[in-house]
Structure 1
Amino acid sequence: MNTLIAYAGKTGNTAKCARRLAIRLKNVTLVDLNVEEVSPNDFDAVIVASPVYSHKFERSVQIFLRTYQNILENKLFAVFVTMVEYGTFNKVIAKEIAGPLRKNAVAIANFGGEVNNLTPFGWHDKIVAKSMIKLESKKHPIEFLPEAPQKFIEELKKVNWD
């Protein structure tokens, strides 16, 4: 099976997760949607990965999902996000992924996230990020969820994604 992992991000966290996932699957093509365009037509399966900033996916991921929704609805499809605000996960997914795509998805997961580099953000986004980090760190550690990638892969294997 030929799998596309299409991802984007500003800080490198989502890219790190995409690379780690890619080495655990076979026949994977990694594409950074902020750098290049890709069509899912040439792939049997597609994983889309996005960070979540202010309850939104990365813009290039939003565009990819909208542009190729009809194609993705007819492929093996899965999504993971990197986000540290766990309480809004379901709300973000419902808002950012169209209903038919959500229904078709083999797996949708939050891999958690780190906050190690706010340099790519503008001053307003830095203020929002810092206040969110302060709030969320009182609820749980700000870190990647170590069990999330394995659970994600287990969901993929249920449909013989390999």
Structure 2
Amino acid sequence: MKILIAVAGKTGTALKCGALLARLLPGAEVTDLELDCPDPAAYEAVIVGGAVRMGQLHRKARAFLEQNEATLLARPFGCFVCCAFAERGDEYLRRNVPPALLAHAAAARCLGGELDPKRLNGMSKFVIGSMARSMEKEARPAPALDPAAVRELAAAVRTELDR
């Protein structure tokens, strides 16, 4: 079974989530959309994920979804977002994934997020650092990846493939 996990992000969190999914889905390969844009028609199932910044899914992930919508609608499909505000994950999915794809998805999940200013530079480092300090002052827990959501997404895609 060939499964494509295509991801895009700035700091590596989406890539990390892709790798976690690949461990749960035999035959899966992870592709960084910043480096490569594979043909989803060559795969039996596709999962697309990306980082969300300022409410927007990474441009490469959004473009991949839009350019390959017809192909993705013809096979088992799942999608995910990584973001600091997991409680807004469903909103980000609705805003950034074409409606037909979202309706077709075996699963669409927020897999959580990470705030690591060390992996950033420039203005992004400043903004994320400020956000982290603000969350600390409010005694709000730092964002973290959600292993249960990763397992749920993998299981839903596996179930769809078994049909």
TM tier, smaller: 0.7 to 0.9
Partner of 1:95: 95
| Seq. identity, % | 26
- Deviation, structure 1 residue 74: 1.3
Letter in 1 for 2:132: I
* Runs (4+) off by over 6 Å: none
8 Å Cα contact 1:11-1:117 kept in structure 2: no
Supply the distance in 1 between the matched residues of 2:78 and 2:117 (Cα, whole angstroms).
Answer: 27
- Deviation, structure 1 residue 121: 4.7
- Deviation, structure 1 residue 136: 4.8
Per mean C-alpha deviation after superposition, the further-off stretch among 19-28 and 103-112 is: 19-28
Letter in 1 for 2:44: D
Partner of 2:66: 66
Number of residue pairs matched by the alignment: 161
Q: Give unmatched runs, 5+ long, in structure 1.
A: none
Cα distance change, pair 30–151 in 1 and its aligned pair in 2 (3 A):
same
Partner of 1:133: 132
8 Å Cα contact 1:84-1:136 kept in structure 2: no
Query: TM-score, normalised to structure 2's length?
Result: 0.87
CA RMSD of aligned residues (A): 2.1
Q: Give unmatched runs, 5+ long, in structure 2.
A: none
Partner of 1:41: 41
Query: TM-score, normalised to structure 1's length?
Result: 0.87
Per mean C-alpha deviation after superposition, the further-off stretch among 34-43 and 99-108 is: 34-43
More helix by share: 2
